[in-house]
Amino acid sequence: MTHPKTAENMMNGAGPIEQALLPRLLHITEAAAIAAAYQMGRGDKMLADHVAVEAMRRMLNKLDMRGVIKIGEGERDEAPMLYIGEEVGTGKGNIVVDIAVDPLEGTNLTADGIPGSIAVMAMAEPGGLFHGPDVYMDKIVVGGDVVRYEKEHPDERINLDFPVAHNLQIVANALNRDIDELVVVILDRERHKKKIEEIRASGARVSLVSDGDLMPGIATAIRGSGVHVVMGAGGSGEAVLTAAAMKILGGKILARLVLPNVANGESEEMIAKEKEEKMPRLVTMGITEDSINDVMDTNKLVPGKDVIFAATGITPGQFLKEVNLFGGGDARVHSVSMGSSGVVKFTDTIYIVDKEETPVRLM
């Protein structure tokens, strides 16, 4: 009898990075999430971040590969570990990767025990991830239904320069529902005051988050998550990580770089100072004051063909549960991991230290 050999064919078709590293990537974000979970709610975001970074780095350095951190904790002089340009891995074997990490996305959320924090990482072949400056990106993120709708209706496409109501109408059409049923997630920031008013005026519902707009972005591509659109200016690294997941899930992100002082409406003097500090580095990346406003799409942000992505929940989120700790190091974690082949794994993993003591329960 013939039948589609989906799993076999897809795994055979996966690129070398996905074949070698996807399962390992999952354990890396899980290690970081468990480390951070022990520091949850202690009000110390530096400590929570530090233990997550350390765990991620230890795990990365066990992998047989040559990896370079392209999006990380910051520049070498401000981040002792997982700094941009840091080389990780044993250096053995033929696998060479560019890496984007956010060991603790939502440090405040973890420190305060608030929902929405994750440990997250993506990898791709060299040049496969946009290597931009650590500023903000203004963005709109939508799921695959919108991408399909745009293909069928070429004159109805979302556009960062169009009014919010125009974009939301397209999303509503694509999802076959009314605008007033949509949920738009946006960071609760003064800089978004006008945009929030525009979303509300369009009729859509707004879900404000105090931090962490990366996971909601991915949630737009997951039906049943309750998130339809993410908008607003957040970290550029977070936007590239979102793009890595959207590329695999068939969703879409449109984003443009924006300097934080510009986005936050600071004084001319502070904007000039920020430009002086940041523009030289941007120029070395081919970004000028003229081109900084160019809109980039998913493929521009993540041109890679062999992309892998993993995220593990630390505190509860739209589609990942929190880390559960059971004593003596036992832990249960919920993750999503995926690769360019199209495999998307939602995993519920138990790490048992004491096999006799710890019962394994269905959840």
Q: CB of 232: closest distance to ligand VTB in angstroms?
A: 8
Regarding 73 and contact with ligand VTB (CB under 6 A), the answer is: no
Of 240, 220, 241, 245, the residue nearest 231 (C-alpha): 220
Q: CB of 189: closest distance to ligand VTB in angstroms?
A: 5
Cα–Cα dist 42/48, whole Å: 9
Regarding 139 and contact with ligand VTB (CB under 6 A), the answer is: no
What is the spatial order of strands in the sheet that 205-209 belongs to? Answer: 205-209, 183-187, 229-235, 136-142, 252-258
DSSP character at residue 7: H
Site stretch for ligand VTB (CB under 6 A), options 159-167, 234-242, 317-325, 336-344: 234-242
Cα angle 206, 336, 104; round to 5: 70
Q: CB of 323: closest distance to ligand VTB in angstroms?
A: 18
Residues linked to residue 338 through DSSP beta bridges, in sequence order = 309, 344
Residues linked to residue 120 through DSSP beta bridges, in sequence order = 102, 311
Site stretch for ligand VTB (CB under 6 A), options 173-181, 210-218, 270-278, 329-337: 210-218
Q: CB of 158: closest distance to ligand VTB in angstroms?
A: 20
Q: CB of 211: closest distance to ligand VTB in angstroms?
A: 3
Q: CB of 99: closest distance to ligand VTB in angstroms?
A: 18
Ordered DSSP codes for 92-105: -SS-EEEEEEEEEE
Judging by DSSP bridges, how do beta strands 229-235 and 136-142 pair with one another? antiparallel
Residues 90-119 that bind ligand VTB (CB under 6 A): 105-106
Q: Decide if 106 contacts 36 (C-beta within 8 A).
A: no
Cα–Cα dist 226/165, whole Å: 19
Binding mask 170-209 for ligand VTB (x = CB under 6 A): -----------------x-x--------------------
Find where tokens 């556009």 sit: 159
| Residue 339 amino acid letter | G
Chain residue at closest Cβ approach to ligand VTB:
234
Site stretch for ligand VTB (CB under 6 A), options 6-14, 88-96, 211-219, 307-315: 211-219
Site stretch for ligand VTB (CB under 6 A), options 35-43, 87-95, 212-220, 301-309: 212-220
Q: Decide if 21 contacts 339 (C-beta within 8 A).
A: no
Nearer CB in complex with ligand VTB: 15/132: 132
Regarding 234 and contact with ligand VTB (CB under 6 A), the answer is: yes
Nearer CB in complex with ligand VTB: 135/171: 135
Regarding 86 and contact with ligand VTB (CB under 6 A), the answer is: no
Regarding 214 and contact with ligand VTB (CB under 6 A), the answer is: yes
Regarding 138 and contact with ligand VTB (CB under 6 A), the answer is: no
- Judged by CB under 6 A, which of 49, 86, 211, 322 binds ligand VTB? 211
Site stretch for ligand VTB (CB under 6 A), options 16-24, 67-75, 124-132, 230-238: 230-238
Calculate the CA 1 to chain-centre distance. 42
Q: CB of 28: closest distance to ligand VTB in angstroms?
A: 19
Q: Decide if 184 contacts 167 (C-beta within 8 A).
A: no
* Reduced 3-state DSSP string for 156-213: CCCCCCCCHHHHHHHHHHHHCCCHHHCEEEEECCHHHHHHHHHHHHHCCEEEEECCCC
Residues 260-299 that bind ligand VTB (CB under 6 A): none
Q: Decide if 103 contacts 117 (C-beta within 8 A).
A: no
| Residues forming the site for ligand VTB (CB under 6 A) | 105-106, 187, 189, 211-214, 234-235, 238
